[in-house]
Amino acid sequence: MLKKLEQLTLEEKIGQLIVFGFHEDHYASNIENLIKNHKLGNILLFSRNVSSSEKLFILNKNIQKAMLKYLQIPAFITADQEGGMVTRLFGDATIFPGAMAISAANNPHNAYLSGLYMADEMDALGINVNFAPVLDVNNNPLNPVIGVRSYSDRPEVVSEYANQYISGLQSKVIATAKHFPGHGDTHVDSHLDLPHVDFGKQRLHEMELYPFKKAIKNNLKAVMGAHIVYQDITNGMPATLSKEALTDLLRGELGFTGLVFTDGMEMKAILNRYGAVESAVPAILAGANLLLYCHHEDQQIAAAKVIKEAVLDGTLPLEVLNERVARILKYKAELNLDIVKQDYQDVKPRVGNKIHREFAQNILNQALTLVKGKPFKAQGKTLFISQSPQATTFADLTDGKSNTIEILKDVLPQFDYYQAQINPTADEINKLKDMALKYDQIVLTSYNSNVFKNQIKLLKELVQTKKELHVISLRNPYDHYLVPEIENYVCLYEYTANSVNTLKDYLLGKIKPKGKLPINV
């Protein structure tokens, strides 16, 4: 039997509010210490914790067994498993497509199936909360952190695809819509600093809040708050620490009754201005149920300590604490705990199986989008210029196995290849321009030119050669917006093993672009 609220000690109640990360890929003594002695009750997994699906299964099984042994309450085991470049499960798990690739394939049912299949693999491995989908409307082409993590720059499209995804995902895990009230129209990455948004409340309701309103009506179970100041709503504070945002707006106006997670409290938007530990109590008072402390054990322990002190001195009323914890326990009572009595062989057929992998690859094939010009057809001498996959935000991850040139050179030996820097130097740009003059065709992959701005210079120089140039975007589909002189422009929306397979088949002439651009450029 799981413990009920009235059976919990003060320390156990506080521990239910903390979601902690760690650095090991196995159940270690430091994890047991945080559970047994500090009563911390929830886990956040990163790629550093995932060396194989089998080891992850064993880790999560041991975590849940420890939670039940020491606390008599299961853990929320959480991860940022958005798909595409924001993926935590590699190896033998399926690499599912990201949001914009799914919407580019132009069938909302694909979003449902992506959520359904992803939930099956996460549940099999013991993960019960997914910090996805992104409900941000990416209406700022220069947004440094969202981009293809969003379904579209139109709120109705974001809503349509996100609700399909939520319905599929919540078949087996809790979906968490982020980043409330919206991170789509910012110029600052909240991992690095505190963004400010100064448009009015009416615009917020019409644009940013539209997908959240629809998702709440679709039985959304969790929301993640954003570390962003909204001048007309949050009274000068980031939404994470704002009662006006998390209680008055989210719970009051929008009627949300589920769980509220903070974003990572060690992100610089909070850490540098308010303090990660010092913000624990303000976040709870604002309306948060669960606080993410992702990286540092000392901060995880200190956060629990300051919350206890706030309860004892009355800063955090006990009835507020009880309300936050009761909502957590309500959802934990519904968790699937089969993992504690299973072995990996019991769940292995659900992880990275043929149906899931073929589905993921087919979505990328369908997403391939010709934005301008003509499809590629090999003729004459061809130079292929590309970069290694790069993490452009703190949420990104690369699998290290998706290098375009390494994959293409064996199947297209007639091409010549050049591995460029992600942000080429002036000397490299001049070298590539001179090289290009010796070829009939140039194929160049671009990768977030708004971040790596020397790519723009390279693109412009290659355009001036008057050679047949084909640009293939492997991330945000805005590079044509930055260099409108590009004549042939194709989008793939992500740099993953599946997208490189799609690129290979496209260059071989096996597939043609069928995708529909989900944004305006």
Strand partners for 129:
78, 174
Q: What local confidence, expressed as pLDDT, does residue 164 receive?
A: 99
Residues in the chain: 521
Q: What local confidence, expressed as pLDDT, does residue 74 receive?
A: 98
* Cβ 393 vs Cβ 154: under 8 Å: no
Q: How far apart are the first and last CA of the chain?
A: 56
For the chain, give the percent of residues with pLDDT over 90.
83
Q: Is residue 57 classed as helix, strand or coil in its secondary structure? A: helix
Residue 462 structure tokens: 């290659």
Q: What is the CA radius of gyration of the chain?
A: 24
Residue 310 structure tokens: 């706030």
Q: What local confidence, expressed as pLDDT, does residue 292 receive?
A: 98
Q: Is residue 252 classed as helix, strand or coil in its secondary structure? A: helix
Nearest-angstrom CA–CA distance, 159 and 176? 14
pLDDT band at 91 (very low <50, low <70, confident <90, very high): confident
Residue 359 structure tokens: 């589905």
Phi, psi of 19 (to 5 degrees): -110, 115
Q: Is residue 475 classed as helix, strand or coil in its secondary structure? A: coil
- Single pTM value for the model: 0.94
- Type of residue found at 30: N
Nearest-angstrom CA–CA distance, 36 and 473? 49
Residue 64 structure tokens: 């849940």
pLDDT tens, 391-416? Answer: 555 455 555 456 899 989 999 999 99
Q: Return the beta strands (E) in 239-289 as ranges.
A: 259-264
Nearest-angstrom CA–CA distance, 122 and 171? 11
To which H or E segment does residue 290 belong? strand 290-293
Phi, psi of 176 (to 5 degrees): -125, 110
Phi, psi of 494 (to 5 degrees): -165, 160
Q: Is the dihedral angle over the CA atoms 357, 358, 362, 365 positive or is it negative?
A: positive
Q: How far is CA 343 from CA 55, 72, 264, 302, in A?
A: 11, 21, 32, 36
pLDDT tens, 475-484? Answer: 999 888 888 9
Residue bearing the bigger pLDDT, 447 or 397 = 447
pLDDT tens, 193-232? Answer: 677 788 778 888 999 999 999 999 999 999 999 998 888 8
Q: Write the Ramachandran bin of 103: left for phi over 0, alpha for psi from -120 to 50, otherwise beta.
A: alpha
Q: Is residue 439 classed as helix, strand or coil in its secondary structure? A: coil
Nearest-angstrom CA–CA distance, 375 and 468? 11
Residue 11 confidence (pLDDT) above 70 = yes
Mean pLDDT for the chain overall: 93
pLDDT band at 341 (very low <50, low <70, confident <90, very high): very high
Residue 330 confidence (pLDDT) above 90 = yes
Nearest-angstrom CA–CA distance, 458 and 241? 43
Instruction: Report CA 68 to chain centroid distance, whole Å.
Output: 29
Show the 3-state SS of 163-186: HHHHHHHCCCCEEEEEEECCCCCC
Nearest-angstrom CA–CA distance, 96 and 82? 8
Catalytic positions, written as ranges: 191, 263
Residue 13 confidence (pLDDT) above 80 = yes
Nearest-angstrom CA–CA distance, 384 and 404? 10
Domains of the chain: 19-350 (3.20.20.300), 368-507 (3.40.50.1700)
Alpha helices for 248-385 (secondary structure H): 268-271, 280-286, 297-312, 318-332, 344-347, 354-367
To which H or E segment does residue 501 belong? helix 497-507
